[in-house]
Amino acid sequence: MTDPKVLASGIAEAAAIDAADPLARFAERFVPNDGVIAYLDGNSLGRPLRVTAERLGAFVADDWGGRLIRAWDEQWMGLPFVLGDRIAAATLGAAPGQTVVADSTTVLLYKLMRAAVDARPGRHEIVLDDDNFPTDRYVAEGIARERGLRIRWLHVDPARGVEPAQAQEAVGPDTALVVLSHVAYRSGFLADADRITRIAHDAGALVLWDLCHSVGSVPIELDDWDVDLAVGCTYKYLNGGPGAPAFGYVARRLQGELEQPVQGWMGARDVFAMGDGFEPGDGMRRFVSGTPPVVGMLAMQDMLALIEEAGMPAIRAKSIALTEFALRQVQERLVPLGVVVATPLAPAERGSHVTVRHPAFRAVTARLWEEGVIPDFRAPDGLRIGLSPLSTTFAELQRGLDAIEAALTDARGDAPGAPQSAGPAGAAGAARASS
Amino acid sequence: MTDPKVLASGIAEAAAIDAADPLARFAERFVPNDGVIAYLDGNSLGRPLRVTAERLGAFVADDWGGRLIRAWDEQWMGLPFVLGDRIAAATLGAAPGQTVVADSTTVLLYKLMRAAVDARPGRHEIVLDDDNFPTDRYVAEGIARERGLRIRWLHVDPARGVEPAQAQEAVGPDTALVVLSHVAYRSGFLADADRITRIAHDAGALVLWDLCHSVGSVPIELDDWDVDLAVGCTYKYLNGGPGAPAFGYVARRLQGELEQPVQGWMGARDVFAMGDGFEPGDGMRRFVSGTPPVVGMLAMQDMLALIEEAGMPAIRAKSIALTEFALRQVQERLVPLGVVVATPLAPAERGSHVTVRHPAFRAVTARLWEEGVIPDFRAPDGLRIGLSPLSTTFAELQRGLDAIEAALTDARGDAPGAPQSAGPAGAAGAARASS
C-alpha cells in the first residue's frame, strides 16, 4: 500500500496534468455524480451529458407531445440517416449515404453478416477470432449453421488480438466474410484494419469490422481503408444511453448488391405505399427493417456535438495520454502485487481501455463498486479500466488507481498494520469511507 | 356544412358525455397541447403522459447518470422480462414468463416467424391475409423465400378482415404457420382470435397474432385462447413513444422447442460467461438477441400504470362508446357527402379506430393537419379516426368530426356562400382559425 503522502502527491500531479489538458473543459458538461469517486467504465456505458436530461424532457413536451404524429414527417423518418451521416463524418471517416442507425448491435450484425455471406455464394467460410466479443461469435455461428458455412477460428493471444499475418494465413478462395473487432473488448488491442481489409480483399472476401470498442475514441477511416461493412455501438464512447441503437455502415459500391433478410416496411422503396410485395429501398434504406427507435436516438446527439467540437485527433491524443498514465502506474504499483498487464504496451496498438489480470479481481471489483470506484470485471480474472477521453480526468483516474491498489492490497491480506488502517488522507481513504 | 348552432350544441352534448365518463379523469394526465384541436391518431402514436417528461429527465440524472453501469445489475438486465410480464398481466391475459420487450416489431416478427416455421419442418405454407400490415407481409415473404416455403394468401374484404370460415378453408396439413392481425390496421376489423387459433391448431399449424392495433384497447386472452406466438407494438395504445421497442409472447409449452435465428449474447443461458459456443437461455431469454433498449422502455411504464388503474373492461367500454359516437355521426353527416364507411358496424367486430373513405381524403387530411385536427391518411383514400380510450375525449372527437365535415365540404366545392364563410362559432371555426 502506497504511503498516503505519496497518494496525495499523485493526485496533485494528476490535477496538474488536467490543468494543462486542452480537453479538460469537457468533463464538467457531464451529469455530476457525487457518489462516484472514479468512473472507469465509459467503455461499457458512457456517462450522460447535462444537456441530455433537458433534451429528453423537452422531447416529450415539444416534439412527441407537441408535434405528435406530424413529427414523423417533419424529422423522425429521416433521423436514422441524418444521424448515421453525422456519426460517419465525426467518427468513421465515411462519406454520407453509407451509415444508418437502427436495431441493436446484435441484430445489425446478423443482418449485415447474412447480407454479406449471401452475396458470396460458393464461398463457405466465415473467418472470426476466438476472442471476438461473444455476440459476434454467436451470431456468426448461427449464420454458419443456417447457411451451411464453416467458421474458421483465428486463435489469438488474449492479451493482444488479430495480427495481419494471421489474417493472411487464414483467408483464401473459400472465405466469404471476415468478422473482426477493431478494438478487442478484452485486451484493448487495436487491429490494423487497413491492412487486414486489403488482405481479405486480395482473397476476394468481404470484411465486417465491429467498431463497438473503437468508435468515438480511436480514429477510423472506413472509406480510405476500403472497408465493406461495419457495425458499432452508440452507448459506449458515443454516450447514447443504455441499450441505445447501433449503427451500420455499408460501402456505397456494395449497397445495390447486398440484401439483408429482415425485410420490413421501413426498408421498402416507398415506405407508405403499403403495396403488394417488398421492393428494397435504395442506398442504406434497404438495411432498415422496423420503425426507427427515436427515443433511443436522442442522447447520442449531445455526445456527437462534443466530439465534433473536440475533434477525433485531440480525443485520440488524450486517450493515449490516459492509457499511458494508467499503464505506467499499473506497472509501478500493481505488477509488484501480482497483476498481469493484458493490454498492448505500444500506444499505436491499443484503444482506450486497459485490462489487467489478477485472481482477486472479481472480489476487488465488487468492493470497488461499493466504494464508488467503477471499473468493470470480465471473467475469469480481468479488470478493465475504461478511459473515456471527454469525461475522464487524470485526477479521477489517479483516484481510481489508488483505490484499485488499496483494494488489491487488502484482498491479498497485506492490510494489517499497513498505513491505510490508520485512516489515510487523500482519495484512497475517501474511497473506503464511502463504502 | 352543418349550421354553427348545431355544431355548438354537438360540442355541448359531447361535453355532457365526457362529464359522465368514468375514465374522463385520465385525459388530463397527458401532456397538454394547445395547438391541437383533436388528436385522432393515438392508434398510430399514443400521446405522452405528463409524468413521462419527468421520468425521462430523472432517468438521465439518477439512474443512468447516478448509478451508471451498476444499474444494469440493479434493474436494467431484468427489465425486458419485468416489463413483458407487466404488459402480459395488464393487457394480454397471459401468465408471467411468456412475454418479453425487445427489438422492433419487424425484427421480432422475423425472429418468431422463423422460429415457428423452423419448428414445423415438412410443412411448406405460411397463411397470411393480403390486407395484413405491410411489414407482416414483407417479413413473411422474405422468410418464405429463404426457407423454401409458400405464402397462401387469404383475400379479404378491405372493409373487414379474416373470418374463421376463410381460415378453416385455408389451413391444412401443409400449413406451418398462420400470421394474422388481431385488429386490422386499415378497417379496424377485430378478428376472432380464439376461434381461428383453434382452427389452426386442429390442422397442426402454429399461429402468430400481430397485436399492434389491439393491445391496450381491446381485451386479449392469449392464454385462454391457447395462442402460440404474438408480437405487439408499444407506441400506439401503450404510449411508449416513437419507435419504442416491441413485445413478443411465446406460450410456455413451446419455449423449449423454438429457436430463433438471431442468437446474441443477451439470449445466452449465462449472459456474462462469454464462453465458447452459444447455448440458448431458458424461457423467454432465448428470444432476446442484443442489449435491452432501456431508454425506449421507460415511457410505456407510465401508460401501463394508467391501464392498470382503469382496467381493460372499462377501457374497452369507452373504446366502443367512442367508435359508436364516431360512426353515428359519420353516417349522419359524412355519408351524405359521399364518404364510405370501411369499418365494421357491429361493435364486437371492431377495435378502437374507424376508417372512412373518400377520394378527397388525401387533400382533406393535409388541411386538417394544418388546422391541428389530426387523423391519419392511408393510401389510396382512407382516413383513420383513432380513438385512444384514456386520452381521447368525446368533445375532442366531436371537434374532429366537425372539422372533417367542414374540410370535406370545402374540398367538394360546396363552400361558397355556405355559413362557415361568415365565421362560424365553435370548434370547426377554431380549427380553421388555427391554420
- Domains of chain B, by residue range, sit at 4-50+311-433, 77-307
User: Nearest-CA distance from B291 to chain A in Å?
Assistant: 5
B415 pLDDT higher than 70: no
If phi > 0 it is left, if psi is from -120 to 50 it is alpha, else beta; for residue A205 that is beta
> What CATH homologous superfamily does B4-50+311-433 map to?
Aspartate Aminotransferase, domain 1 (3.90.1150.10)
User: B246: helix, coil or strand?
Assistant: strand
DSSP 8-state secondary structure symbol assigned to residue A303: H
Give pLDDT, residue A434.
Answer: 29
- Length of chain B, please? 435
Find chain B residues with C-beta within 8 A of A146's C-beta. 261
Alpha-helical segments (H) within B74-160:
79-87, 105-118, 134-147
From the list B66, B235, B289, the residue facing A106 with the nearest CB is B289
The matching CATH number, chosen from 3.40.640.10, 2.160.10.10, 3.40.50.720, 3.40.50.300, for B77-307 is 3.40.640.10
User: Nearest-CA distance from A31 to chain B in Å?
Assistant: 6
Q: CA–CA separation, A278 vs A267, rounded Å?
A: 9
Cell of B368: 386538417
Find chain B residues with C-beta within 8 A of A65's C-beta. 30-31, 33, 47-48, 53
pLDDT band at B38 (very low <50, low <70, confident <90, very high): very high
Cell of B216: 391496450
The single-letter code of the amino acid at A165 is A
Residue to substitute from A106, A108, A114, A270, interface B, most B β-carbons within 10 A: A106
Catalytic-residue membership of A236: yes
User: Nearest-CA distance from B419 to chain A in Å?
Assistant: 30
Which residue of chain B has the CA closest to A41? B69
pLDDT band at A18 (very low <50, low <70, confident <90, very high): very high
Residues A170 and A177 sit within 8 Å (Cβ to Cβ): no
CATH number of A4-49+311-433: 3.90.1150.10
User: Nearest-CA distance from B207 to chain A in Å?
Assistant: 20
Which one is catalytic: A318, A384, A399, A432? Answer: A384
ipTM exceeds 0.90: yes
Which residue of chain A has the CA closest to B30? A65
Which residue of chain B has the CA closest to A66? B33
Give pLDDT, residue A413.
Answer: 81
CB pairs under 8 A between A and B: 272
Cβ distance B242 to A134 less than 8 Å, yes or no, reads no
Q: CA–CA separation, B428 vs B93, rounded Å?
A: 41
pLDDT in tens, A273-318: 777 889 999 999 999 999 999 999 999 999 999 999 999 999 999 9
Provide the edge-to-edge strand list for the sheet that holds B382-386. Answer: B340-341, B353-357, B382-386, B376-378
Catalytic-residue membership of A145: no
pLDDT in tens, A242-267: 999 999 999 999 999 999 999 999 99
From the list A33, A104, A298, the residue facing B103 with the nearest CB is A104
Give pLDDT, residue A428.
Answer: 32
From the list A70, A245, A274, the residue facing B379 with the nearest CB is A274
Task: Phi first, then psi: give them for residue A218, nearest 5 degrees.
Answer: -130, 135
Find chain B residues with C-beta within 8 A of A294's C-beta. 241-243
Q: What is the mean pLDDT of residues A134-158?
A: 96
Residues B431 and B373 sit within 8 Å (Cβ to Cβ): yes
Q: How remote is the C-alpha of A178 from its chain's centroid?
A: 19
Q: How many CA atoms lie less than 13 Å away from A401 in the CB half-sphere?
A: 33
Cβ distance B107 to A76 less than 8 Å, yes or no, reads no
pLDDT in tens, A116-144: 999 999 999 999 999 999 999 999 999 99
Cell of B296: 425506449
Residues B288 and B80 sit within 8 Å (Cβ to Cβ): yes
User: Nearest-CA distance from A422 to chain B in Å?
Assistant: 30
Residues A119 and A206 sit within 8 Å (Cβ to Cβ): yes
Residue to substitute from A68, A213, A258, interface B, most B β-carbons within 10 A: A68
User: Nearest-CA distance from B200 to chain A in Å?
Assistant: 25
Cβ distance A106 to B69 less than 8 Å, yes or no, reads no
Cβ distance B70 to A369 less than 8 Å, yes or no, reads yes
pLDDT in tens, A330-389: 999 999 999 999 999 999 999 999 999 999 999 999 999 999 999 999 889 999 999 999
Residues B273 and A133 sit within 8 Å (Cβ to Cβ): no
Cβ distance B53 to A65 less than 8 Å, yes or no, reads yes
pLDDT band at B433 (very low <50, low <70, confident <90, very high): very low
Which one is catalytic: A236, A333, A357, A432? Answer: A236
Minimum mean pLDDT among B7-11, B227-231, B249-253, B416-420: which range? B416-420
What percent of chain A stands above pLDDT 70? Answer: 95
Residue to substitute from A33, A39, A69, interface B, most B β-carbons within 10 A: A69
Find chain A residues with C-beta within 8 A of B66's C-beta. 31, 33, 35
Catalytic-residue membership of A210: yes
Find chain A residues with C-beta within 8 A of B297's C-beta. 243
Cβ distance B295 to A291 less than 8 Å, yes or no, reads no
Give pLDDT, residue B4.
Answer: 81
From the list B57, B130, B265, the residue facing A56 with the nearest CB is B57
Which one is catalytic: A210, A302, A376, A402? Answer: A210
